């Protein structure tokens, strides 16, 4: 990889064949005007892939604007994307441009697009068909020149078959698909990524970078990483504080990771490990019962939707449909 290309694709770290293929597809399809759908499990780095696609595209001098569809209720999606006029609804004390306008000439990245409600899907479809939109509270359409990338951690084709996602919207969103490999299929890259995250976090915190003991390298490579790269990054950020320079040993690892070594039983919090495993399994089963629908899962568990999202991230729960596992 040349120096200029490394600057564009440097966020896609890895030496394994799957990552080489990923970078090849990013170079090929990023330089086009195709709408790209990025598929990958939670925590694999789908937004980084979208950023890399934008960075090698003809629109790279324009803005890259991310939008996480899971973070907004039905009533907020439309004004967030398309903006609103003053007085359009209670609390709209002034005009506001939406994210589509903010992305003009560049790229709009729609993350977790499967979470869009039927009403929001209809609004997005109309925009993709017409290349124009109206701010909430206005009737005069506005033209738009924005490239769309989308991403999910569930199989949208299956959602279409089940009637939970519009087929016509699916066809509009997906002109090409890029699949991000899970970390468990990139075991040879785990050490490389771990050291990268350790160095970066040490620099951010102004600390001396810890060193990984060989037995820790082995434990990291054996772990399945259900939360993928995001979970590995979080663990390395924690270790920078826990170790505070020196060498990372097995006892420093989080219980669910360190237990893969088969050593140190009885020295690490067995109760904490058991509780963590129970909560993760319980949450995963609840998501499976509701086929990944977060609102229904949160209702069953008696928590808010945002609390559920936080638990998914903290526990590293994979939300990919069972058919894809």
Convert the pLDDT of each residue in 139-153 to its tens digit: 788 899 999 999 999
Q: Comparing 180 with 318, which gets the higher pLDDT?
A: 180
CATH number for 40: 3.40.50.300
Long-range contact pairs involving 28-34 (C-beta distance under 8 Å, separation at least 24): 29/53, 29/176, 29/178, 30/54, 30/55, 30/56, 30/57, 31/56, 31/57, 31/58, 32/57, 32/176, 33/57, 33/58, 33/147, 34/175, 34/176
| Domain-terminating residue out of 164, 181, 198 | 181
pLDDT of residue 22: 95
pLDDT of residue 88: 58
Q: What is the mean pLDDT of residues 42-66?
A: 95
Q: Is the pLDDT of residue 5 over 70?
A: no
| Domain-terminating residue out of 116, 149, 181 | 181
* Same structural domain, 124 and 7: yes
CA dihedral 270, 273, 275, 277 (to 10 degrees): -140
Give the start-end residues of each E strand in the chain: 36-39, 64-68, 83-84, 96-97, 107-111, 132-133, 142-143, 147-152, 176-179, 211-212, 247-248
* Same structural domain, 25 and 155: yes
Convert the pLDDT of each residue in 79-88 to its tens digit: 889 887 765 5
* Same structural domain, 288 and 262: no
pLDDT of residue 97: 84
Whole-angstrom distance, CA of residue 238 vs CA of residue 255:
13
In a domain, 275, yes or no: no
Lowest mean per-residue pLDDT among 10-14, 37-41, 118-122, 257-261? 257-261
In a domain, 195, yes or no: yes
In a domain, 62, yes or no: yes
Assign 133 to helix, strand or coil: strand
pLDDT of residue 76: 83
* Same structural domain, 161 and 18: yes
In a domain, 235, yes or no: yes
Please tell me the pTM assigned to this model. Answer: 0.75
- Domains of the chain: total: 3
Q: Which domain holds residue 80?
A: 3-181
* Same structural domain, 256 and 303: no
pLDDT of residue 291: 83
- What is the band of 70 on the pLDDT scale with cuts at 50, 70, 90? confident
Give the start-end residues of each E strand in 153-196: 176-179
Q: Is the pLDDT of residue 104 over 90?
A: yes
Q: Is the pLDDT of residue 310 over 50?
A: yes
Percent share of the chain, pLDDT over 90: 52
Q: Comparing 318 with 154, which gets the higher pLDDT?
A: 154
């Amino acid at each position: 990889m040349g120096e200029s290309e490394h600057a564009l694709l440097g966020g896609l770290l890895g030496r394994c064949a799957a990552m080489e293929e990923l970078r090849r597809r990013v170079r090929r399809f990023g330089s086009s005007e195709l709408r790209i759908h990025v598929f990958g499990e939670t925590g694999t780095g789908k937004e980084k892939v979208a950023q890399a696609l934008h960075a090698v595209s003809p629109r790279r001098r324009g803005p890259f604007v991310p939008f996480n569809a899971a973070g907004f209720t039905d009533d907020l999606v439309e004004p967030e994307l398309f903006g609103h006029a003053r007085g359009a609804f209670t609390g709209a004390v002034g005009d506001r441009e939406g994210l589509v306008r903010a992305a003009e000439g560049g790229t709009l990245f729609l993350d977790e697009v499967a979470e869009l409600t039927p009403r929001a899907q209809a609004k997005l479809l109309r925009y993709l068909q017409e290349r124009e939109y109206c701010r909430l509270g206005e009737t005069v359409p506005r033209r738009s020149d924005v490239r769309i990338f989308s991403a999910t951690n569930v199989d949208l084709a299956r959602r279409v078959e089940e009637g939970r996602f519009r087929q016509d919207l699916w066809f509009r969103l997906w002109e090409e698909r890029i699949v991000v490999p899970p970390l468990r299929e990139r075991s040879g890259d785990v050490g490389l990524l771990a050291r990268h995250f350790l160095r970066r976090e040490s620099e951010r915190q102004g600390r001396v970078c810890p060193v990984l003991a060989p037995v820790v390298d082995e434990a990291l490579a054996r772990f399945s990483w259900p939360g993928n790269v995001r979970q590995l990054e979080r663990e390395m950020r924690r270790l920078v504080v826990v170790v505070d320079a020196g060498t990372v040993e097995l006892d420093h690892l989080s219980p669910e990771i360190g237990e893969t070594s088969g050593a140190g039983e009885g020295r690490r919090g067995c109760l904490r490990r058991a509780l963590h495993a129970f909560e993760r399994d319980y949450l995963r089963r609840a998501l499976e019962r509701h086929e990944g629908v977060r609102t229904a899962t949160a209702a069953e568990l008696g928590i808010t939707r945002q609390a559920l999202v936080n638990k998914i991230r903290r526990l590293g729960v994979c939300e990919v449909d069972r058919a894809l596992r």
